[in-house]
């Protein structure tokens, strides 16, 4: 009888399938019996079990709230007689409770009384009567040292608040901000008004205090990981977060209101913009991208512009040039500072150029150091200073550029430290030279000479 290829193929498939089922049925029967046994053992739980070879000793049970994993307990190694004795002694030592100094003295006195009473019956009582027990007392210095090592809540007195506020506001950075704003006011081509100068400097300083306090409020978890910032007031708990936020709000609102209502609205707007950029843009970007350095440079460039607008009430090219000076100066200053703090910034999780792009960090510092020479040449072109200023500022600009070049080539801690300390005196010297070479107002305001009368 002839069979088609299709029927032959189906017969082979059926035979193989039948053989496969015969192999699977005992396993399924074994799995079913295992599930029944597990259910009888713990019927209160809903059991989910998968019979695999590598899970014979382990299964998962689902209870009401979640999954819990069970496994057979690991066999404990048997202890020898000596090890068991040592373990017993160790447990007995661990069970001894610690007692305080006063309780120790009372216990010692009680034992002394009992010993004296028992010695009165013995024949050697007269010999032991004059002996005093040795009591190790804690001195005052050791007690103070022990208490200092313990954790305790810091209590700040009222007299300590000025120092806490000064560190919360980063008083040195605020002083630098006020100095640059004062330089912008002094460079403006208007008569000098001491009252307006004081009010604008005070408002700028208050805005800077507010921005620095909010910055520390946001960065408490990260400042605690850095050696440079671990002693800040909020990290040490010297001041509560609510207290710090209240201080920042009081400084920010009063500073911006003082600038907007007393000086002019443009300066008040720049003060509010500076707080916003520093707290909402620069602070979060420090953990996201190296763009934070450029945003921070913009924040540092705004104070001299505020000083100029406080004096003139207008945003002019001279104000932008002063801001450009501050913008370029901050790169050799901050890049050199961050180079020696790379380990700290890494622990804090900050994405700085010195950490993620070290070659770019050195290159940008050199680029902007050379840019200070070009900006000094632009000042007389904009009629801000005389042509003497590019000449007298050339030595200090060349020197900081030379140190930036050494930092670019060597990239070590020594060259970074020298560049940083040079930047500390370079900026005040540059602003002082610009103020000295400021073009007099009469050169700007003098009327044009009348044309000579021609002979008739």
Q: Decide if 238 is inside a domain.
A: yes
Q: What is the CATH number of the domain that holds 203?
A: 1.10.357.140
Sign (positive/negative) of CA torsion 332, 333, 339, 343?
negative
The pLDDT of residue 211 is 93
The pLDDT of residue 156 is 64
Same domain for 375 and 417, yes or no, is yes
Residue 212: pLDDT band (50, 70, 90) is very high
The pLDDT of residue 120 is 45
The pLDDT of residue 396 is 94
Same domain for 297 and 320, yes or no, is no
Residue 111: pLDDT band (50, 70, 90) is low
b/e for 141-157, b at 16 or more Cβ within 10 A?
Answer: eeeeeeeeeeeeeeebe
pLDDT digits (tens, 9 = 90+) for 440-455: 765 444 444 443 333 4
Same domain for 308 and 328, yes or no, is no
Q: Which residue has the higher pLDDT, 422 or 449?
A: 422
pLDDT over threshold 80, residue 278: yes
Q: Looking at the DSSP assignment, which residues form a beta bridge with residue 48? A: 60
Exposed/middle/buried for 301, CB within 10 Å: 0-12, 13-18, 19+?
A: buried
Count: domains in the chain? 2
Residue where one domain finishes, among candidates 315, 332, 352: 315
**Distance, CA of 330 to CA of 90 (rounded, Å):** 62
Residue where one domain finishes, among candidates 292, 315, 338: 315
Q: Decide if 180 is inside a domain.
A: yes
Residue 200: pLDDT band (50, 70, 90) is very high
Percentage of the residues of the chain whose pLDDT score is greater than 90: 37
Nearest to 173 by CA among 215, 227, 124: 215
Same domain for 338 and 419, yes or no, is yes
Residue where one domain finishes, among candidates 297, 315, 333: 315
Whole-number average pLDDT of the chain = 75
Q: Decide if 256 is inside a domain.
A: yes
pLDDT over threshold 60, residue 92: no
Q: Decide if 376 is inside a domain.
A: yes
Residue 118: pLDDT band (50, 70, 90) is very low
**Is the CB of residue 238 less than 8 Å from the CB of residue 154?**
yes
What mean pLDDT do residues 385-394 have? 92
pLDDT over threshold 90, residue 205: yes
Same domain for 294 and 362, yes or no, is no
Q: Decide if 328 is inside a domain.
A: yes
Tell me the pairing of strands 58-62 and 67-71: antiparallel
Residue 352: pLDDT band (50, 70, 90) is confident
Same domain for 198 and 248, yes or no, is yes
Same domain for 170 and 297, yes or no, is yes
pLDDT digits (tens, 9 = 90+) for 148-197: 665 555 566 677 788 888 999 899 999 999 999 999 999 988 888 889 89
**Distance, CA of 286 to CA of 216 (rounded, Å):** 13
Same domain for 341 and 432, yes or no, is yes
The pLDDT of residue 353 is 87
Same domain for 427 and 345, yes or no, is yes
Q: Decide if 292 is inside a domain.
A: yes
In terms of residue numbers, what domain contains 321? 316-440
**Distance, CA of 402 to CA of 405 (rounded, Å):** 5
Same domain for 412 and 284, yes or no, is no
**Is the CB of residue 279 less than 8 Å from the CB of residue 313?**
no
Same domain for 306 and 172, yes or no, is yes
**Distance, CA of 179 to CA of 432 (rounded, Å):** 11
pLDDT digits (tens, 9 = 90+) for 41-76: 654 444 443 444 433 443 333 334 333 444 444 455
Q: Decide if 454 is inside a domain.
A: no
Whether pTM > 0.85 for this model: the answer is no
Percentage of the residues of the chain whose pLDDT score is greater than 70: 64
C-alpha torsion 396→401→407→409, nearest 10? -140
Residue 294: pLDDT band (50, 70, 90) is very high
Nearest to 214 by CA among 255, 265, 266, 184: 255
Tokens of 264: 């002019």
Q: Decide if 70 is inside a domain.
A: no
Q: What is the CATH number of the domain that holds 413?
A: 1.20.120
Same domain for 185 and 232, yes or no, is yes
**Is the CB of residue 200 less than 8 Å from the CB of residue 271?**
no
Which residues, in sequence order, are CB contacts of 244 under 8 Å at separation 6+? 168, 213, 216, 217, 233, 234
**Is the CB of residue 31 less than 8 Å from the CB of residue 37?**
no
């Amino acid at each position: 009888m002839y069979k088609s290829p299709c029927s032959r193929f189906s017969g082979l498939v059926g035979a193989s399938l039948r053989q496969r089922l015969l192999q699977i049925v005992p396993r399924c029967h074994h799995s079913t019996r295992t599930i029944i046994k597990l259910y009888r053992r713990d019927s209160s739980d809903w059991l989910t079990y998968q019979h695999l070879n590598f899970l014979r000793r382990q299964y998962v049970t689902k209870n009401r709230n979640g999954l819990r994993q069970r496994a057979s307990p690991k066999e404990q190694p048997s202890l020898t007689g000596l090890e068991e004795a040592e373990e017993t002694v160790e447990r007995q030592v661990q069970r001894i409770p610690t007692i305080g100094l006063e309780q120790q003295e009372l216990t010692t006195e009680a034992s002394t009384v009992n010993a004296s009473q028992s010695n009165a019956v013995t024949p050697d009582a007269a010999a032991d009567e004059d002996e005093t027990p040795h009591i190790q007392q804690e001195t005052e210095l050791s007690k103070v040292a022990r208490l200092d090592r313990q954790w305790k809540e810091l209590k700040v007195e009222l007299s300590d608040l000025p120092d806490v506020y000064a560190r919360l506001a980063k008083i040195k950075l605020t002083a630098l901000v006020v100095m640059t704003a004062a330089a912008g006011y002094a460079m403006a081509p208007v008569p000098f008004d001491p009252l307006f100068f004081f009010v604008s400097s005070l408002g700028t300083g208050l805005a800077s205090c507010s921005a620095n306090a909010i910055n520390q409020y946001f960065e408490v978890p990260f400042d605690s990981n850095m050696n440079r910032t671990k002693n800040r007031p909020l990290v040490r708990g010297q001041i509560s977060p609510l207290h710090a936020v209240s201080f920042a709000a009081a400084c920010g609102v009063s500073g911006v209101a003082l600038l907007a209502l007393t000086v002019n609205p443009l300066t008040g707007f720049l003060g509010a913009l500076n707080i916003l950029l520093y707290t909402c843009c620069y602070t979060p970007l420090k953990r996201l991208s190296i763009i934070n350095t450029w945003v921070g440079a913009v924040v540092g460039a705004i104070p001299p512009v505020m000083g100029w607008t406080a004096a003139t009430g207008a945003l002019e090219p001279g104000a932008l040039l002063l801001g450009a000076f501050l913008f370029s100066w901050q790169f050799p200053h901050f890049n050199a500072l961050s180079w020696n703090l790379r380990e700290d910034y890494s622990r804090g999780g900050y994405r700085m150029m010195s950490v993620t792009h070290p070659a770019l960090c050195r290159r940008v510092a050199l680029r902007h150091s050379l840019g200070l020479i070009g900006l000094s040449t632009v000042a007389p072109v904009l009629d801000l200073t005389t042509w003497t200023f590019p000449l007298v500022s050339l030595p200090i600009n060349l020197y900081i550029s030379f140190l930036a070049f050494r930092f670019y080539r060597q990239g070590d801690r020594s060259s970074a430290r020298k560049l940083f300390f040079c930047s500390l005196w370079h900026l005040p010297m540059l602003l002082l030279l610009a103020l000295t070479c400021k073009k007099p107002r009469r050169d700007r305001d003098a009327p044009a000479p009348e044309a000579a009368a021609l002979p008739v």
